[in-house]
Amino acid sequence: MGIPNHITINPPAISLFEPDALATNTLILANLAPQAFENEGSAVRVVLERFGRVVRLSLLKSFLRVVVVFDSTADSQHAKDALHMVEFLGRELRVYFGDHTDTTHLSNPSAQPLNFLRVPEPEKNFLLSPPGSPPIGWVQLRESSPVSGGHNDALLDALHQLENDEGAQGMEFVLDAGSAITVEEEEE
The DSSP code for 72 is S
What pTM was computed for the model?
0.51
How far apart, in whole angstroms, are the C-alpha atoms of residue 178 and residue 42? 81
Backbone angles phi, psi at 135, to 5 degrees: -65, 160
Span 116-159, pLDDT tens digits: 677 767 666 666 666 667 777 888 888 877 766 667 777 777 77
Q: How many CB atoms lie within 10 A of CB 43?
A: 20
Q: Measured between alpha carbons, how far is residue 168 from residues 144, 152, 154, 157, 162 in Å?
A: 22, 21, 18, 15, 6
| pLDDT tens digits along 39-75 | 999 999 999 999 999 999 999 999 999 999 999 999 9
CATH fold of 26-107 reads Alpha-Beta Plaits (3.30.70)
